[in-house]
Amino acid sequence: MFQESVYTKLCLNEQVVDATLKKIKNNLPKDGFISCLSLTEKQFSNIQCILGEFKSDVIISDEKIVKL
């Protein structure tokens, strides 16, 4: 697994994808590493989100004072 940050950009056609990749390549830091993945709208619509149990220490309350 090599992911540290994930950024997305909507490109309406292949020409926009090519222009975006060119900008990324022109601005790549000397020691940079960027992986790009292009998906069609149909492929994107098939994404499956798999979530575990959500745990939080934050108490959500309408009360002005919360005693812990």
Q: How many structural domains does the chain have?
A: 1
Q: pTM value? A: 0.61
User: Residue 5 region, left (φ>0) first, then alpha (ψ -120 to 50), else beta?
Assistant: beta
Core vs surface per residue 2-26: b (16+ CB within 10 A) or e:
eeeeeeeeeeeeeeeeeeeeeeeee
Q: What mean pLDDT is reported for the chain?
A: 85
What pLDDT score does 55 carry?
Answer: 78
Coil/strand/helix, residue 31: coil
More confidently predicted of 16 and 2: 16
pLDDT at 24: 94
Task: Determine the average pLDDT of the residues in 58-62.
Answer: 71
Domain encompassing residue 33 = 1-68
